[in-house]
Amino acid sequence: MAIIKSAKKAIRSSARKHAFNLKRKITMRDLIKNFKKLVEAKKPAEAKKLVPNLYQAIDKAAKRGVIDKRTAARKKSRLLASLKKIA
């Protein structure tokens, strides 16, 4: 356990950041999951409506360092490619 005041503050700060990052990651993961389900069900119109929210979630996660920017680009590219296959 931390003894120094600054170390205690760092632990609190880290816990707060962890909560925000976890929320971003879960949101992104859920949107990707929903998108993939729509693609597998061959519903391109509904999947297209989900794309802006999906991009926003992925970009926010990348901006905040939850995922790497290259990982974000790869995810977006692959998800849109899967949509184009069924469209």
Instruction: Look at residue 14 and tell me whether its pLDDT is greater than 90.
Output: yes
Alpha-carbon torsion 29, 24, 43, 79, what sign?
A: negative
Share of the chain above pLDDT 90, in %: 97
- Please give the backbone phi and psi of residue 57, each rounded to the nearest 5 degrees, phi first: -65, -45
Please list, in sequence order, all residues whose beta carbon lies within 8 angstroms of the beta carbon of residue 2, skipping any fewer than 6 positions away.
Answer: 8, 10, 11
Residue 12: predicted pLDDT: 97
- Token digits of residue 33: 């999951």
State the residue range of the domain holding 69: 5-86
Look up the CATH number of the domain holding residue 75.
Answer: 1.20.58.110
> What's the pTM value of the predicted model, to 2 decimals?
0.88
pLDDT at 64 > cutoff 90: yes
The two tokens of residue 8 are 């205690």
pLDDT in tens, 31-59: 999 999 999 999 999 999 999 999 999 99
Distance, in Å, from the CA atom of 73 to the CA atom of 43, rounded to the nearest integer, reads 23
Number of domains in the chain: 1
